[in-house]
Amino acid sequence: MSSPNNAWVTLATNDSYSLGALVLAHSLKTVGTVHKLAILITPGVTAPMKQQIEAVFDEVKVVDVLDSKDQTHLALMCRPELGVTFTKLHCWTFTNYDKCVFLDADTLVLQNCDELFEREELSAAPDPGWPDCFNSGVFVYKPSQDTFGQLLEFARTRGSFDGGDQGLLNMFFKEWSNTDISKHLSFTYNVVWSSTYSYLPALKQFGQNMKIVHFISSSKPWLQSFNTETRLVTSKHGGSGLQELLQLWWDLFCRHVHPRLSTEMIESRLS
Ligand code: UDP
Ligand code: MN
């Protein structure tokens, strides 16, 4: 049997989300994934940052949703508010892979979860804000040009009830909520961390099972204060457990990303 050709896929439209994507990639390597790493970027990512990304990811696809004179561009003209969403939809165009798992750039993988590739499209974990919806920061899907076209058409004609990809994908894959429980991933695959995490006894009981943490909204790791002398991060929002996870992100950043960044920057200044 030939080994499956699978990939983790993420997205970055600028340099700060690129830092998230780089740390995410190193977290995947640290847990020893056997699958490839792929990323969608846009021209908003600077050339030195693109070089960093190319050194870590197996495949880098540049998508320019505004300039492409194709169906994406036409769809976007009708729905200018869905800019980043349209970019995310391009993950379906990685048809050189059999199956993919999309991960937001603000996620961090804590334990190996290669078993996710055994799931079918569209598998995702519930969103704690409205658990009949899935959170679109982590999902298993099957790349397909056909599905991509359908998603674009859906976006153009129907839009998104929350103005982003989560509303759109939940409408498109609306059977997720009530059809097949095997497509419901455990919350441990997408622990959505808001600054007001509210179920602390569950965190105490199940916290060690956490596989992927997702730093939504204002808890983005790269927006917290980091002390370069003590190498400790201080969360601006607090919240039990968050501090340790943010520290993990920063440890990976300091070990794998920052040293390379500074060398590159120095070199580019000298040349
Ligand atoms: N994203 C991006 N640039 C942006 C906003 C979002 O590249 O300006 C990508 C990135 O991969 C990010 C994902 O889109 O993780 C979803 O956005 P975000 O994580 O900020 O939303 P949240 O999870 O907080 O709802
Ligand atoms: Mn996110």
**26-52, pLDDT tens digit by residue?**
999 999 999 999 999 999 999 999 999
* Ligand lying nearest the CA atom of residue 16: 1
C-alpha of residue 127 to centroid of ligand 1, in Å: 15
Token representation of residue 234 = 């201080």
Residue pLDDT, tens place only, 164-183: 999 999 999 999 999 999 99
Residue pLDDT, tens place only, 196-210: 667 888 888 888 999
C-alpha of residue 2 to centroid of ligand 1, in Å: 35
Q: How far apart are the first and last CA of the chain?
A: 50
pLDDT, residue 110, reads 97
* Ligand lying nearest the CA atom of residue 219: 1
pLDDT, residue 66, reads 76
Mean of per-residue pLDDT scores for the chain? 91
pLDDT, residue 194, reads 75
ipTM of the prediction greater than 0.85, yes or no: yes
Token representation of residue 255 = 């070990």
Contacts of range 45-48, beta carbons closer than 8 Å, 24 or more positions apart: 45/12, 45/13, 45/14, 45/15, 45/18, 46/15, 48/264, 48/265, 48/268
C-alpha of residue 157 to centroid of ligand 2, in Å: 25
Q: Yes or no: say if 96 and 36 are a contact pair by the CB < 8 Å rule.
A: no
What CA–CA distance (Å, rounded) separates 188 from 177? 18
What CA–CA distance (Å, rounded) separates 58 from 60? 7
Atom of ligand 1 nearest to the CA of 165: 16
Atom of ligand 1 nearest to the CA of 88: 14
| Block residue for tokens 């750039």 | 105
pLDDT, residue 217, reads 84
- C-alpha dist (Å) from residue 235 to 4, 7, 13, 46, 191: 40, 32, 25, 28, 17
Q: What is the pTM of this model?
A: 0.94
Residues within 6 Å of ligand 1 by CB: 10-14, 17, 84, 88, 104-106, 137, 216-217
CA atoms within 13 Å, Cβ hemisphere of 150: 10
* Ligand lying nearest the CA atom of residue 11: 1
Helix (H, G, I), strand (E, B) or coil at 100: strand
C-alpha of residue 190 to centroid of ligand 2, in Å: 10
- C-alpha dist (Å) from residue 59 to 35, 37, 55: 12, 7, 10
Atom of ligand 1 nearest to the CA of 192: 23
Which residues, by Cβ under 5 Å, contact ligand 2, an ion? Answer: 104, 106, 137
- The dihedral of CA 206, 210, 215, 221: what is its sign? positive
What CA–CA distance (Å, rounded) separates 48 from 30? 24
C-alpha of residue 55 to centroid of ligand 1, in Å: 22
Which uninterrupted H or E stretch holds 205? helix 200-206
* Ligand lying nearest the CA atom of residue 127: 1
C-alpha of residue 268 to centroid of ligand 2, in Å: 31
Residue pLDDT, tens place only, 89-130: 999 999 999 999 999 999 999 999 999 999 999 999 999 999
Question: pLDDT: is 227 or 242 the higher one?
Answer: 227
**121 alpha-carbon distance from chain centroid:** 17
pLDDT, residue 263, reads 63
Residue whose Cα lies nearest atom 23 of ligand 1: it is 216
Residue whose Cα lies nearest atom 3 of ligand 1: it is 13
Helix axes 242-252, 15-30, angle to 10 degrees: 90
Helix (H, G, I), strand (E, B) or coil at 31: coil
Residue whose Cα lies nearest atom 5 of ligand 1: it is 84
